Amino acid sequence: MFESAELGHKVSKQEYEREVPKLREALLDAQFELSQRAGFQVILLIGGVDGAGKGETVNLLNDWMDPHHIHTVAFSDPDQQERERPYMWRFWRALPPKGKIGIFFGSWYTEPIVDRVMGHAKTADFDQRLQEIVRFEKMLTDEGALVLKFWFHLSREKQKTRLESLQKNPKTRWRVAETAWDRFKKYDKFKKISEHALRLTSTAEAPWIVVEGMDSNYRNLTVGKTLLAALEEKLKESRLTKPANGFPLLPTIDNRHILGSLDLGLHLAKHEYEKQLDYYQGKLSQLSRHPGFEKRSVIAVFEGPDAAGKGGGIKKITNALDARKYQVIPVAAPTDEELAHPYLWRFWRHMPGHGRFTLFDRSWYGRVLVERVEKFCSEADWMRGYNEINDFEQQLVENGAFLFKFWIAISKEEQLARFEERQKIGFKRFKITEEDWRNREKWNDYETAVCDMVDRTSTDSAPWTLVEGNDKYYARIRILKTLCEKIEKEIS
């Protein structure tokens, strides 16, 4: 794959100076249109060998274009915050919003490639990480992003020449790190493994563009012109609408479903409730301070119809915890900033560090519930949502989080009773809106969506807990007990 990038590509000074003004103007135009319409973001990855001019090109792009709309991010070794969270967290945080260009100097490819070159990872594990990257990038392009991946290459001889000449010049000496020469010693291995990575991750939607890094004129013009062509193409295309190409899911033909199988008559007497509440809150409090929990975290998702008791369930958990240890995230309609990012971005933001709890009052499952039922997104979008959510949760669990997903079920009659009750009580009246009554009319559509959701996202590592919620006492204890038992089993 690197044959063409060892030919000694060159562009003369004359030609370069003739081409650059036109290119800059066109890039600025395209960038302006991008920022005005804000229909998608551009994610530009720069990877490759040391000394191939990655930094120079990134600086030049910032110079050629309007740096207000460019986010340049350089990734070095992860810090404490980042080490406590899944590998992809830092990259999610750095994603540019729609309308902007993000230049990633070093990226999600760096660590897997380096780990493999250094022998810290086996081929099968390496391939697995590469496939995860393919899925991640597919999510980005499915969400509309333009993903451009440049790999700067130098032949062995040219890398040597280049590193030596950078080192001779006092102005550029700082750019040749110790590690650059260490890596040079493994040139062949690095090349072979990079080629493998590029091959497996070069997709039709986000192909790698290999650029010879020796001649700066050639390198800069190639990157600039490729970026321009891709940007113009995408701006043209994004004026058209996207076809919704989904697979039709049918509701179960006998109308028997997982929600209908719940015994909503389950209940707990008040004194029994109070006894158990004491017991499990005490237990949870202990567990949250257990040494075995220091490197773990809890992520709990609460979903259910309006007035199901999500808030109450959360409250009984937080009552047991030190306020510095938890965060409750109420999920409502996304903000402008959140809408300008891929769907899952707003949730990645809130991932807890070690020893902490994050409780979501509604969650990423909105994609396959409200967005599906209300047709806020296309069928194809929510269908791929199942996979994206499973991948996302897999990362959380692999990173050591306890992930709980509670669906609190209530009957339609119980909901009505609670609505009427709330309207009577002054301080609870704000909790009932027109929208709640409207949602009620779509009860059956929501039931279908919930059943599909459980079928497609309840997995061995991240199962759903369906909670019979007509009796609040019963439901709250069920939730606390589920938390305590799983955490206790694993850490003690």
Closest distance of CB 142 from a second copy, Å = 9
Q: CB-wise, 226 or 318, nearer to a second copy?
A: 226
Closest distance between a second copy and the C-beta of residue 449, in Å? 13
CB of 317 to a second copy, least distance (A): 24
Q: Which one, of 33, 146, 45, 36, lies nearest residue 103 by Cα?
A: 45
Distance of alpha carbon 309 from alpha carbon 27, whole angstroms: 53
Of 128 and 319, nearer to a second copy (C-beta) is 128
| By the rule CB under 8 A, 230 interacts with a second copy | yes
Question: Using CB under 8 A, which of the segments 287-295, 349-357, 436-444, 447-455 binds a second copy?
Answer: 447-455
Q: Is the dihedral of CA 425, 426, 427, 433 positive or negative?
A: positive
User: Given the rule CB under 8 A, which of 236-244, 268-276, 313-321, 413-421 is the region that contacts a second copy?
Assistant: 236-244
Q: Are 423 and 430 in contact (CB under 8 A)?
A: no
Q: What is the residue-wise DSSP string for 108-140?
A: TTHHHHHHHHTTSS-HHHHHHHHHHHHHHHHHH
Q: Which of 35, 62, 161, 203 binds a second copy (CB under 8 A)?
A: 203
Question: In the set 67, 246, 265, 282, which binds a second copy (CB under 8 A)?
Answer: 246
Q: At what angle do helices 110-117 and 123-142 cross, to 10 degrees?
A: 170
- CA dist 63 and 251 (Å) reads 56
The Cα angle at residue 212 between residues 209 and 213, in degrees rounded to 5: 115
By C-beta, is 180 or 454 nearer to a second copy?
Answer: 454
The answer to whether 147 and 234 are in contact (CB under 8 A) is: no
The two tokens of residue 202 are 């070069």
Give the x/- contact pattern for a second copy in 453-472, rule: CB under 8 A: -xxx-xxx---x--------
CB 228 within 8 A of CB 34: no
CB 356, CB 327: distance < 8 Å? yes
Based on CB atoms, which residue is closest to a second copy, 205 or 337? 205
CB of 7 to a second copy, least distance (A): 5
CB 284 within 8 A of CB 317: yes
The nearest distance, CB 451 to a second copy, in angstroms, is: 6
Q: 247 in helix, strand or coil?
A: coil
CA dist 84 → 89, 106, 290, 351 (Å): 10, 20, 18, 10
Interaction between residue 258 and a second copy (CB under 8 A): yes
What minimum distance in Å lies between the beta carbon of 256 and a second copy? 5
Contacts of 356 (CB under 8 A, 6+ apart): 297, 298, 325, 326, 327
Is 221 among the residues that bind a second copy (CB under 8 A)?
yes
Q: Are 56 and 216 in contact (CB under 8 A)?
A: yes
Query: Are the beta carbons of 167 and 157 closer than 8 angstroms?
Result: no
Instruction: Kindly tell me which of 158 and 472 has the beta carbon lying closer to a second copy.
Output: 158
Residue partners of 397: CB distance under 8 A and separation at least 6? 403, 461, 462
**Closest separation in Å from C-beta 46 to a second copy:** 17
Does 243 bind a second copy (CB under 8 A)? Our answer is yes
Site size toward a second copy, by CB under 8 A:
63
List strand residue ranges (DSSP E) for 154-216, in order: 208-212
Q: Which is nearer to a second copy, 3 or 434 (CB)?
A: 3
Cα Rg of the chain, angstroms: 27
7 binds a second copy (CB under 8 A): yes
Task: For the beta carbon of residue 353, count every other beta carbon within 10 angstroms.
Answer: 13
Which member of 55, 207, 265, 282 binds a second copy (CB under 8 A)?
A: 207
Among residue numbers 349 through 408, which ones bind a second copy (CB under 8 A)?
380, 383-384, 386-387, 390
Stretch that binds a second copy, among 44-52, 110-118, 160-168, 232-240 (CB under 8 A): 232-240
Binding mask 120-159 for a second copy (x = CB under 8 A): --x-xx-xx--x----------------------------
Provide the mask over 277-296, with x wherever binding to a second copy is found by CB under 8 A and - wherever it is not: --------------------
Quick one: which segment of 42-50, 158-166, 220-228, 352-360 binds a second copy (CB under 8 A)?
220-228
* DSSP single-letter state for residue 307: T
Residues contributing to the site for a second copy (CB under 8 A): 1, 3-4, 7-11, 122, 124-125, 127-128, 131, 192, 195-196, 199, 202-207, 210, 218, 221-222, 225-226, 229-230, 233, 237, 240, 243, 245-250, 252-254, 256-258, 261, 380, 383-384, 386-387, 390, 451, 454-456, 458-460, 464
